[in-house]
Amino acid sequence: MPTIQQTLLFARTRLEGRSSSASLDAQVLLCDALHQPNRAYLFTHPEQVLTAEEAERFASYLARREQGEPVAYIRGHKAWYDRTFWVNPSVLIPRPETELVLETAFACIPTDEARMVADVGTGSGALAVTFKALRPHCTVYATEISAEALAVAQRNATEHATPIAFLHGNLLEPLIARGLRLDMVISNPPYIATEVLPKLAVSAWEPRLALDGGEGGLVCLTELFQQVPHACSAGAWVLVEFGADQGEAVLELAHRTLPLESAEIRQDYAGLDRYLVARLR
């Protein structure tokens, strides 16, 4: 059986050209194969010989990564913001950019306030769970059209002991049907144009339902904005993520469909337009 050092060298060679983070991928997957939580273990035990079971497990992980499967799906979980979430191919893998939406939500609602908040199209539940964990006085709803994704979100809520009302349905429809009035809507909806999606690597692995924003990419967002006045109170916040080239169109759409007090486009870590911060009048 090979040592840890030999295994890492072999894996990095196999993944070069297939992954932009070949070394990191190899290290993370080997840690999982060895049931070690920290990559430091690999560098402090380079001569440790893998058992047959560990080598076989790592070989299966490596083969999946060679085919392009995201590391998060291979591992079954993804670290995001201040906690870790279960993920599988029925949910979108949480992105760092979405943390900006979450932090803006925190800035809008102080810790001691009790508000009604909805995460629309919750996916893994990362937004809803983290918001509820750090704003415990708020009542949090999470909607999701995919029953499979909803099951993942519910598992994450249970894992992090966050009481959230999960509702199966399209966008805000389940909340409108219940006559609820929200103080905030947060969402990372599908926003990739149908015609563009097949050209993107993400389409090979992550759920189309969470990616496909219809023709031009704004069909889902348009539907969401049309529903907002029927589900939100005066003064409610609407925080929505979108594609880097959609800022101008999203702002125009917001002004056309929402009763606005204010609206602005904010940028992500790369300085690209990424999310809308709007307040209803």
Find the CATH number of the domain harbouring 92: 3.40.50.150
Binned at pLDDT 50, 70 and 90, residue 75 comes out as: very high
Mean pLDDT, residues 36-60 taken together: 98
| 201 plus 153 within the same structural domain | yes
Find the CATH number of the domain harbouring 32: 1.10.8.10
| 123 plus 192 within the same structural domain | yes
pLDDT at site 234: 98
| 48 plus 154 within the same structural domain | no
Binned at pLDDT 50, 70 and 90, residue 15 comes out as: very high
| 182 plus 234 within the same structural domain | yes
pLDDT at site 229: 98
| 202 plus 267 within the same structural domain | yes
Does some domain include residue 197?
A: yes
pLDDT at site 19: 95
| 167 plus 142 within the same structural domain | yes
Structural domain of residue 38, as residue ranges? Answer: 4-68
Mean per-residue pLDDT of the chain: 98
pLDDT at site 198: 96
| 101 plus 178 within the same structural domain | yes
pLDDT at site 99: 98
Binned at pLDDT 50, 70 and 90, residue 223 comes out as: very high
Q: pLDDT exceeding 90 applies to what percent of the chain?
A: 100
What phi and psi, each to the nearest 5 degrees, are found at residue 187?
-160, 140
Question: Which tens digit of pLDDT belongs to each residue from 243-272?
Answer: 999 999 999 999 999 999 999 999 999 999
| 219 plus 111 within the same structural domain | yes
- The model carries a pTM of 0.96
Does some domain include residue 252?
A: yes
Does some domain include residue 76?
A: no
pLDDT at site 157: 98
Mean pLDDT, residues 229-234 taken together: 98
Question: Which tens digit of pLDDT belongs to each residue from 180-195?
Answer: 999 999 999 999 999 9
Buried b (16+ CB within 10 A) or exposed e, 30-68: bbbbbeeeeeeebeeeeebebeeebeebbeebbeebeee
pLDDT at site 119: 99
Binned at pLDDT 50, 70 and 90, residue 179 comes out as: very high
pLDDT at site 217: 98
Domain boundary (68, 89, 114) is at 68
Does some domain include residue 75?
A: no
| 64 plus 131 within the same structural domain | no
Domain boundary (20, 42, 68) is at 68
| 43 plus 148 within the same structural domain | no
Q: pLDDT exceeding 70 applies to what percent of the chain?
A: 100
